[in-house]
C-alpha cells in the first residue's frame, strides 16, 4: 500500500501538470471502487483545478466550488497522460483537461477512492477524525507522550493509528523505532517523554528523507506505463529480517503485529 511519502511524491508529480487547468470531461469506466464514484463528479466539467493538497494518504484537488478526493488504496496509481492514450485494464477514472491531458486512475484491486465534496465540505467525515500531519508543527514535542498516557497498546501499533498521527505506515514505523532504539512491542504508555520527543524528531526525519528519495520518480507521473510504487529507499530494518544489523551486526528479528511485519534489532532496540 502506498504510504505518506509515496502519496506526497504523487502530489508533487502531478501538480505542475494539472493546476490552473480546466476540466473538459469526466470519464468513469468503473464506479465500483472502495466507495461508489458519485454522479456529482460530473459537475467538475468546466471547473478549474486551483491546487492539489494532501491530507494523510488522500489527495485533494481543490476546484472553484468543490473538492475531488482521490485515494490510491492498496495498489492504485495516478498518471498525467495524453487524453487519447489507449485505455488499459483497471483504468477506472479519467479527469480530462482542456490542455488535452488527462489525470488517470488505475486500480487493479479497486480499494482506492474517487469522491467529491460539494462546497469543500467533507460529508463522509473521512478527514474529520484524522490525527496531525507528521511533517507539520501540529506534531510537536510532548504530543505523542500525552496521547500515549496509560495506553498498553504496542508502540508500533500506536504510531500506525491514524487517529493519533497520520502517515506513519508500516515501513516508516519500523524505521523510526529502530533509529529511536525502541522495541516495537513496548507498551506506548511506558515510553518516557524524553524518548517520545526524540522519536517525534526521528519520524519527521525518516518521512522527509523518504520524500526526498522519491523525488527521482517525479517524471514517472507523466508516463502512462510508469509504476514507481515504493521507490528505492535506504532502509535499515524493514524487509531485512534474518540479515545483520548495519549498526551492531546482530541478526534482525521479525514478528507479526496486527497482521503486519515488524523487523527490529534485539541489541539496538530496547524496552
Respond yes or no: is residue 260 known to be catalytic.
yes
Q: Identify whether the C-beta of residue 110 lies closer than 8 Å to the C-beta of residue 32.
A: yes
Cell of 37: 464514484
Q: Which of 62, 195, 240, 260 is catalytic?
A: 260
Cell of 128: 474529520
Respond yes or no: is residue 219 known to be catalytic.
no
From CA 9, how far away is CA 7, in angstroms rounded? 5
Find cell 500515549 and name the residue. 148
From CA 5, how far away is CA 249, in angstroms rounded? 28
The DSSP letter of residue 245 is: P
Respond yes or no: is residue 36 known to be catalytic.
no
3-state secondary structure of 230: coil
CB-neighbour burial class of residue 99 (10 A; exposed 0-12, middle 13-18, buried 19+): middle
From CA 109, how far away is CA 82, in angstroms rounded? 24
Q: Identify whether the C-beta of residue 11 lies closer than 8 Å to the C-beta of residue 221.
A: no
From CA 160, how far away is CA 173, in angstroms rounded? 7
Task: Pick the closest to residue 116 from 69, 179, 164 (CA basis).
Answer: 69
- The β-bridge partners of 61 are 52, 68
Respond yes or no: is residue 6 known to be catalytic.
no
Q: Identify whether the C-beta of residue 6 lies closer than 8 Å to the C-beta of residue 214.
A: yes
User: How does strand 77-82 pair with strand 101-106?
Assistant: antiparallel
Q: Which of 3, 6, 8, 175 is catalytic?
A: 3
Q: Which of 11, 54, 57, 156 is catalytic?
A: 57
Catalytically annotated residues: 2-3, 57, 260
Amino acid at each position: 500500500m502506498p504510504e505518506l511519502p509515496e502519496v506526497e511524491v504523487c502530489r508533487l508529480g502531478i501538480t505542475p501538470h494539472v493546476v490552473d487547468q480546466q476540466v473538459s470531461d469526466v470519464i468513469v469506466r468503473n464506479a465500483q471502487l472502495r466507495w461508489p464514484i458519485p454522479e456529482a463528479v460530473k459537475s467538475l466539467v468546466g471547473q478549474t483545478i486551483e491546487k492539489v493538497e494532501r491530507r494523510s494518504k488522500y489527495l485533494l484537488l481543490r476546484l472553484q466550488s468543490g473538492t475531488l478526493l482521490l485515494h490510491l488504496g492498496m495498489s492504485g496509481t495516478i498518471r498525467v497522460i495524453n487524453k487519447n492514450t489507449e485505455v488499459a485494464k483497471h483504468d477506472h477514472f479519467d479527469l480530462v483537461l482542456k490542455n488535452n491531458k488527462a489525470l488517470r486512475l488505475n486500480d487493479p484491486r479497486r480499494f482506492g477512492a474517487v469522491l467529491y465534496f460539494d462546497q469543500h465540505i467533507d460529508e463522509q467525515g473521512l478527514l474529520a477524525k484524522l490525527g496531525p500531519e507528521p511533517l507539520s508543527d501540529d506534531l510537536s514535542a510532548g504530543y505523542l507522550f500525552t496521547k500515549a498516557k496509560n495506553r498498553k497498546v504496542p508502540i508500533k501499533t500506536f504510531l500506525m493509528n491514524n487517529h493519533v498521527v497520520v502517515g506513519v505506515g508500516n515501513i516508516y514505523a519500523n524505521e523510526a523505532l529502530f533509529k529511536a532504539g525502541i522495541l516495537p512491542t513496548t507498551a506506548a504508555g511506558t515510553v518516557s517523554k524524553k524518548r517520545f520527543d526524540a522519536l517525534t524528531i526521528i519520524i519527521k526525519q525518516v518521512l522527509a528523507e523518504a520524500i526526498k528519495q522519491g523525488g527521482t520518480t517525479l517524471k514517472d507521473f507523466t508516463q502512462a506505463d510508469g509504476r514507481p510504487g515504493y521507490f528505492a529507499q535506504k532502509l535499515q530494518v524493514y524487509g531485512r529480517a534474518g540479515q545483520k544489523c548495519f549498526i551492531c551486526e546482530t541478526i534482525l528479528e521479525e514478528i507479526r503485529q496486527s497482521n503486519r511485519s515488524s523487523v527490529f534489532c534485539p541489541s539496538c532496540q530496547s524496552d
